[in-house]
Amino acid sequence: MLWATSTVAEAPGVPASAPSAAMSLRVVGGLANVNQYTRQEEPFWTQELPRLTNGKLRASIVPFDRAGIRGQDMLRLMQLGVVPFGTALASLSSATEPLLGAADLAGLNPDMASLRRHVSAYRPFLEKTLREKHGIELLAIYVYPAQMLFCQRPLKSLADLAGRRVRTASATQADWVEALGAKPVNTSFAEMTQNLRSGNVECALTGSMSGYTIGLQQHTQHLFTMPVSWGMAIFGANTGAWAALPPDQRSILKQELMRLEQVIWADSERETGDGVRCLTGEQDCGGQPGRLHAQAPTVADDQRRRNVLAGTVIARWIQRCGTPCAEAWNQTIGPISGVEARPATSPQ
């Protein structure tokens, strides 16, 4: 399989163990056709890494949704070493490891500042869990632009969502949508446009700029600008593949991946606003002009967001995840968010 190993390129007459040998890494990245991958991930691995390491490290990268890999399988493939360096979307990997998505539960982060606080509080626990439970070294946490509601009919408040079929990408998004009286339809990013076009869904939850990039302005007319979640992803390495790198190269990678993380977060925050402006035609973004009507959430909408988070989303997450998740939440995110998680009750 293409992603099975990282290899050492041997120059004629030079042993593989020689200091001058160049290591070639195989990397699986995030979603294809979005700015995070095309402007940040791919250039980092294919252009910046060789320069930063004076040619000692090279890499090839492919987005997971073009590599014949299901996003739901990424965590397991990284654990096995089949994917030595990879990007796992929390929304997809949470099906097997609910702990992964705690800092980006639907309705938890109405702005980037909230997301930063919650991720910072949760990061040490996440790092420890990935290393000890899955054999994965956490190297970076990425986020996509805020995920908002695109709809074909007017959406003046969250109350208007009732009865509609809504594209969701995670269990917590489905919980949030269902609590508002809508019907969640789990659909991959690549299939979203077709589902809107066919009428299988009439609303979709996805990133503001991501939606513009794939042309949702041609299939919807209304945008509700409340961030429901942000599309968190972890970039990590199989611990064996990580340990095989020379210490100086591990040090460079850690440092530069933290820098890449900061750039991606800054871009995601900027693109959240840019995406709205592109979708509504306020800004010329070089693609199909958008004419969506943007509706901002009211104070009542924000209160309902928080009520659904506390009353439904966290409770169902704990049911899937168990008491250890409640304990982890209450030790990390709970005190900052002001929302306590109750231990899971026994199934009825």
**Does 279 fall in a domain?**
no
Residue 88 domain-assigned?
A: yes
- Same structural domain, 225 and 245: no
User: Going by DSSP bridges, is the β-strand pair 293-295/222-229 parallel, antiparallel, or unpaired?
Assistant: parallel
Do 197 and 300 belong together in one domain? yes
325 in the same domain as 297: yes
The amino acid at residue 112 is: M
Tell me: do 65 and 91 sit in the same domain.
yes
Averaged over 265-277, what is the pLDDT?
96
Query: 346 lies in a domain?
Result: no
| 244 in the same domain as 184 | no
- Residues 291 and 173 both lie in one domain: yes
Does some domain include residue 215?
Answer: yes
- Answer whether residue 345 shows pLDDT above 70: no
Number of separate domains in the chain:
2
Would 99 be classed as within a structural domain? yes
HSE, side-chain direction, 13 A CA sphere, residue 47: 7
Same domain as 249, residue 108: yes
Q: How far is CA 259 from CA 56, 198, 249, in A?
A: 19, 41, 15
* pLDDT tens string 171-192: 999 999 999 999 999 998 889 9
pLDDT category, 302, cuts 50, 70, 90? very high
Q: Is the pLDDT of residue 348 over 50?
A: no
Tell me if 301 is assigned to some domain.
Answer: yes
Structural domain range at position 133:
7-12+20-144+230-272
Report which secondary-structure segment, H or E, holds 87. Answer: strand 85-89
Q: Are residues 114 and 47 in the same domain?
A: yes
- 261 and 133 fall within a common domain: yes
pTM above 0.85, yes or no: yes
Which helix or strand (DSSP H or E) is residue 22 part of? strand 22-29
110 & 209 share domain:
no
CATH code, domain with 28: 3.40.190.170
Query: Are residues 18 and 37 in contact, defined by beta-carbon separation less than 8 angstroms?
Result: no
Express each pLDDT in 237-252 by its tens digit: 999 999 999 999 999 9
Same domain, 181 and 195: yes
Residue 96: per-residue pLDDT: 86
Q: Are residues 113 and 184 in the same domain?
A: no
Convert the pLDDT of each residue in 87-144 to its tens digit: 999 988 988 899 999 999 999 999 999 999 999 999 999 999 999 999 999 999 999 9
- Exposed e or buried b per residue across 163-196, where buried means at least 16 C-beta atoms within 10 angstroms of its C-beta: ebbbbbbbbbbbbbbbbbebbbbebebeebbebb
Confirm whether 189 is domain-assigned.
yes
- Residue 224: how many CB atoms within 10 A of its CB? 24
Q: In this structure, is residue 209 part of a structural domain?
A: yes
